[in-house]
Chain A
């Protein structure tokens, strides 16, 4: 089977509307990276375990390696590129810097999108609720404790009115 751009996909990514002719078998991660050039979504395992490729689809964190791009038809997708606005880092990004929640930074986008989903739906999550989200992700550098601190820090920042959740 060769490339067959027989599917017309319409969706919104980070607020912008797109219409693309794509191969129906293309997954969402590849679509974002290859077709839109949104390369902040990284791919770690391509079998849904590591969570590095998380994006938000209609506000829910999904593994973009496991979702066909065509399944995002008519949906709103948010990626890491959609976090910082107007040259200003998102509170989650600030929190990761302050707590040294990243080392190589390859997996961090997936953690941030997962934490973003949590904090936009739960302004004051418990330790267990945060752990449940962080526990769905793999990081090889940090050992996770710094990421837990970053998530708590982000919760405090967003709870204190720094949130972009109100949009």
Chain B
């Protein structure tokens, strides 16, 4: 039986929603604030050992000798593993593109600084680290390539011996008559950009406890794991185990933002557990390991972009050339980040044709992984700079230039050249709201005054799309097969009428358990605090992907409402039997099942549940007596990708306009953000407070990206940022007041009209800040083309523009 998921709030079985659509106290908070939430490092198992990993100091070297004897002899050491164990007991990591994975511990060669070469399991972490220091490794250094342009040359040192070159992929995707559009355009603009490596840096690093059962060949892993289902499949592949032999127990974790990789360290702890006879082995990545060699780094990009514009200032074509330095292997799925821009390639604009010249290149750096936004934020940084370059050249106001090129509100659903379909939007309204919030004319007037005083004040207006509810088909071009990402939930009502919801993902910070409790509370007439939301391991959970790709809010809403609908249908049948009528005469409203047209003839949810469980003898045999249901939701209408990567991929398209004012200090190159205003439209806001929290946090990550954060490597691919003294995380001193206004254009395709919004503002913030910086620099005749716009870079530009150097 097809289940209809409510498409808007008025379809919920309540006269007035009390919780969904409102900000409420989060059900997660009391336990988090009192330290009663069990993070993985809080877990202690009987006979548990602790792992420390020895890592390569060289970016490229042959390993000629590994001597573990002194480590093995140390009191407290139980097991030591090396590349030989990894080769014997595990497979090379799966990768994207395929064939670019290596074993979790280096064998003959190391490929980047920080690559594991051996690991120890010991009675505690201190002993394990002592033992790791006693392992002797002889290296024969080899030539290093740290520059992707050098790496692409045929005489470059090769990163992986079994590959013919360092080019993982080299393909041009063309959507429409791009050459024709550029040939016909009276204005063509071309520019190069650089986006330097940065990354997620959740406050909790990755951690796990792995337990290898040597008799049954089961593998049980506790961990701070963002996507437990996927993670379990990956470990099954690593060890050649059937997928149902791997059980993942994901613990609440201290953020992820995509950067909770940890697969390599986890596989090492599994090897150690196996070697230690099945004793559990805990590995807690420390911050140094995370920064050096964790799931920490993303987006190391070199762009060459062209924009074609007609005589009326309408953009008629976009070409994006990207050389993406993915580091040594494809194991961390950095390639997906290069594919995801297909979901929103032309941004909020009507650009009719586009081309993507994509080169994925291996170098001797840490393999790139995911980070919040998964690739579009740098793409929108370059697209928005090009929009400003064009507007400036044509003498148009950047806001109005964008408005002219926006997709019109009545044009949705709208298919973009790279194949995805945007669900809905009202971009001119969002622009108007942002400009009004900022009082844009007053900002420009103040800027004119500041410029007259010789101050470098700039205003940035930028707009971007946040693709929401990801689908694998978006990444088909880098070898990710498949369409459809299931999310399930099980809603159970017990014999006294209390509700429990079992989900397949653990707490991560977005307030998803609160959302689940809001939905069930409004559906069946509970208070949110009385709805219990629990996470279950992958052996017991309904199918689940968990958070990622701005999907979980929408997907879990579909799953929970679907399960509620199933229970409602079942209960309507039960009540109909008890009231001797047909199910269609029974209606659920505000927690009561009522006989239509007969006031007072009603049963509460608790009464129905109690009857089902306590008096199932009263029910006809074809009624399942459990007041419980599971629903698995997948995004409707998704399509496999065609040869050029075109697919209906991400289900929703949220949109935002940010207006930023900055001032650059001429003497130091420091950027001060003086105003930060934004309007955004992510459809129905199921919990406006948590949406706002996501937006605020994402703006600040965007500020970090634009101004602070960078993993610097030297020419020998030695990482220079391995502590928070070198990798600059934003603090409160970097954060302006963030003024916000919400526009709500519900999605026609999703439960309750909500759109994905978890990744949020980072799509727009770096673009907007860089637009503002370049607006500030424009009187000097110079511009910043590199992110982050660190003081030293801007100082140099200003100095050169003034004739210094």
Contacts and interface: CB of A to CB of B under 8 A. Distances in A.
A and B: interacting chains: yes
A23 B252 CA distance: 30
A44 to B, nearest CB: 5
Contacts of A98: 25
A41 B508 CA distance: 18
Interface in A67-95: 79-81, 83-84, 89, 93
B723 A144 contact: no
B776 to A, nearest CB: 23
Interface in A130-167: 131, 134-148
B735 interface: yes
A77 B253 CA distance: 26
B724 interface: yes
Contacts of A144: 700, 730-732, 735
B35 A146 contact: no
Contacts of A26: 126
Contact of A140 (B37, B123, B511, B697): B697
B203 A49 contact: no
Nearest to B25: A97
B267 to A, nearest CB: 23
B729 A106 contact: no
A136 to B, nearest CB: 8
Given A3-B123, A46-B287, A146-B696, A135 B202 contact: no
A100 B204 contact: no
Nearest to A47: B723
A134 B252 CA distance: 24
Contacts of B127: 2-3
Contacts of A47: 287-288, 723-725
A43 B41 contact: yes
- Size category of the B interface is 35 or more
A145 B737 contact: yes
Contacts of B697: 103, 140-143
B29 A104 contact: no
Interface string A38-54: 11111111110110100
B511 A137 contact: no
Classify the secondary structure of B's interface with A. loop
A89 B30 contact: yes
Contact of B37 (A25, A89, A105, A148): A105
Interface stretch (A56-64, A107-115, A117-125): A107-115
A103 B729 CA distance: 17
A50 B288 CA distance: 13
B76 A140 contact: no
Nearest to A52: B203
B34 A100 contact: no
B323 to A, nearest CB: 29
A31 interface: no
A102 interface: yes
Nearest to B131: A2
Interface string A15-41: 000000001011000000110001111
B731 A140 contact: no
B202 A104 contact: yes
Given A42-B254, A44-B287, A103-B255, A134 B33 contact: no
Contacts of B724: 45, 47, 49-50, 138
A106 B204 contact: yes
A16 B723 CA distance: 35
Contact of B42 (A39, A81, A100): A39
Contacts of B126: 3, 23, 25-26
A44 B690 contact: no
A10 to B, nearest CB: 22
A140 B200 CA distance: 9
A145 B75 contact: no
Given A2-B130, A46-B286, A138-B731, A143 B30 contact: no
Given A25-B126, A140-B701, A105 B29 contact: yes
A100 B690 contact: yes
Contacts of B614: none
Contacts of B510: 103
B33 A108 contact: yes
Which of A84, A98, A104: most chain B CB closer than 10 A?
A104
Nearest to B510: A103
Which of A33, A41, A42 has the largest count of B CB atoms less than 10 A from its CB? A42
Nearest to A107: B203
Given A104-B204, A148-B732, A80 B76 contact: no
B242 interface: no
Contact of A97 (B33, B76, B130, B254): B33
A6 B693 CA distance: 48
Which of the listed residues A40, A89, A147 has the most CB atoms from chain B within 10 Å of its own CB? A40
Interface in B1-51: 23, 25-26, 28-30, 32-39, 41-42
Contact of B511 (A41, A103, A108): A103
B693 A100 contact: yes
Interface centre among A108, A131, A145 (most CB of B within 10 A): A145
A131 B203 CA distance: 20
A133 to B, nearest CB: 9
B32 A105 contact: yes
A50 to B, nearest CB: 6
A143 B401 CA distance: 31
Contact of A42 (B29, B204, B508): B204
A112 B287 CA distance: 22
Nearest to B224: A106
Nearest to B291: A45
9 contacts: A33-B41, A42-B203, A42-B254, A52-B203, A103-B509, A105-B507, A131-B733, A141-B509, A148-B732
Interface of A: 1-3, 23, 25-26, 33-34, 38-47, 49-50, 52, 79-81, 83-84, 89, 93, 96-98, 100, 102-109, 112, 131, 134-148
For the complex of A and B, 10 pairs with smallest distance between CB atoms: A40-B35, A106-B254, A105-B32, A104-B509, A103-B509, A143-B700, A49-B724, A143-B696, A39-B42, A144-B732
Given A138-B729, A140-B257, A145-B696, 9 more contacts: A3-B127, A26-B126, A38-B35, A47-B725, A50-B287, A100-B692, A104-B203, A104-B509, A138-B731
